[in-house]
A and B are shown apart, each in its own frame.
Chain A
Amino acid sequence: MSGHWRIVWAGCFAALCMAGCGDSLTQVVLQIDSNASVVDLDTVQIEVLGPSGDEVVNTQVPLTAPDSPALPLTFGLVLDESAPGEQLTVRVSSSGPVNVAASARTEFIRGESLTLDLFLDRGCIDVVCPEIESCTAGECANNRIDPETLSSL
């Protein structure tokens, strides 16, 4: 093989190697929506617990200020490579004139970007569910969601 050909093949190998070395992101995108008015919700609190059970997000989002984000609220969660597991717990609640909450427990899937929807249902105003349940249409039900059922981003 001549010197030129060595250069050609080395270049190809390097290009292919670079292609194969790209890491896929492991993330879950929260999408929070509601059929209640933003005036009633006023402020939405978002709490996220990671695989270790530690709180990784705890933020309050005012909905009625002039510069407030509009519904649906969206937030990206990226699993760190060093995370001890894939578990994810999300709780959202309003703290305005009406009290409504929703929660979900699911997992990241390594190398995939998924969307997790949480809905603050007007039918769930003042409905308080146990910790592992979430309210839908006024009824509490287990809030565990199989990550395989989550839609890809």
Chain B
Amino acid sequence: MTMKKLLAALLLCVSTSTALAQDEERARELFGEGVEALQNEEWERARTLFEEAYELAPRASVLTNLATAQAQSGQLVEALASYETLLDDPPDRRTRRRLRTIVRELRPRIPTLTVRVIGGRPRDELLIDGDVVAADDPVTVNPGWRQVEVQREGEVVAAARVRVDEGAQEEAELEVRVPTPAEVAAAQPIERIEAPDPIDVAVREPEEEEGGSKTWLWVTLAVVGAAAVGATVAIVALSGGGEDRFVGNVAPGTADVR
């Protein structure tokens, strides 16, 4: 029984060390290709290769090259994070000094983007390049075109691409889209306005005083006029007339079909 356990443990050790050796070998290959890509100034390719290598072998030498490739390919935010990780455990004083200089020069190059959302709701989520961020606060981003979105219950309700230059403190406004026709219909239901009930109007006979007769006439005019207006509104509401032409968010918003 003890022998079997020993054998199992030995097999586990052998298989684990074999896997580690394979990872090490693959990481070495990727590192070599990455260095070659750096020398050829293929920054994106170098970054991908070093990222893969670092996953297999998270060593400072790989991270140093990854940080270089990140910085050169415009991923300044990621590059700063990599350099800061290296600074956490620097090999020697000289390297620390060099890393500090790099970080000091890199920080002001990283732009910020502040997005103000107009017409948003409290539970809406603001995303920059897929990451949820706080509205109205400066967010460090990489320079270039950034995809900004407002999501409501997982649905994108506003989106824009914002150009952010290196070192800039960009501000952008994102307006939540015009409500959908369904929302408009839900928000403004067509109310059926009933005509007022007929009102009995006592009409005085002509023998009454002239002034009294005029008063009754105006009362009658007002009541019947109100009834007519009410009936008009009711008829319009019931017939669906008076609808506005819908103007969409695609220019020119509407078109005649002949």
Mostly, the B contact residues are mixed
Contact B181 A15 (CB under 8 A): no
Q: Does A22 contact B (CB under 8 A)?
A: yes
Compute the total of residue contacts between A and B using a CB distance below 8 Å. Answer: 157
Q: Does A39 contact B (CB under 8 A)?
A: yes
Name the interface size band of chain B. 35 or more
State the CA gap A114–B182 with chains docked (Å): 10
Residue in B closest to A32 when the chains form the complex, CB atoms: B250
Q: Does A113 contact B (CB under 8 A)?
A: yes
Of A4, A73, A79, the contact of B248 (CB 8 Å cutoff): A73
Of A19, A52, A152, the contact of B258 (CB 8 Å cutoff): A52
Q: Does B6 contact A (CB under 8 A)?
A: no
1/0 per residue B139-152: CB within 8 Å of A? 00000010100000
**Chain A residues near B244 (CB, 8 Å)?**
25
Chain A residues numbered 88-146 whose CB sits less than 8 Å from any CB in chain B? 88, 108, 111-113, 115
**Chain B residues near A20 (CB, 8 Å)?**
235, 239
Residue in B closest to A88 when the chains form the complex, CB atoms: B257
User: A8 and B246 in contact (CB under 8 A), knowing A16-B228, A74-B181?
Assistant: no
Contact B228 A12 (CB under 8 A): yes
Q: Does B118 contact A (CB under 8 A)?
A: no
Residue in A closest to B217 when the chains form the complex, CB atoms: A4
29 A–B pairs (Cβ distance < 8 Å), ordered by A: A11-B224, A12-B225, A15-B228, A22-B239, A22-B242, A29-B246, A30-B248, A37-B147, A38-B147, A38-B159, A46-B250, A51-B258, A54-B258, A66-B160, A68-B159, A70-B249, A71-B156, A71-B159, A73-B249, A74-B249, A75-B248, A76-B247, A78-B254, A78-B255, A78-B256, A80-B257, A83-B257, A113-B240, A113-B243
Number of A interface residues, CB 8 Å? 58
Q: Does B178 contact A (CB under 8 A)?
A: yes
Mostly, the A contact residues are mixed
A49 to chain B, nearest CB (A): 9
Contact A61 B180 (CB under 8 A): no
A18, A50, A75 — which one has the most chain B CB atoms within 10 A of its CB?
Answer: A75
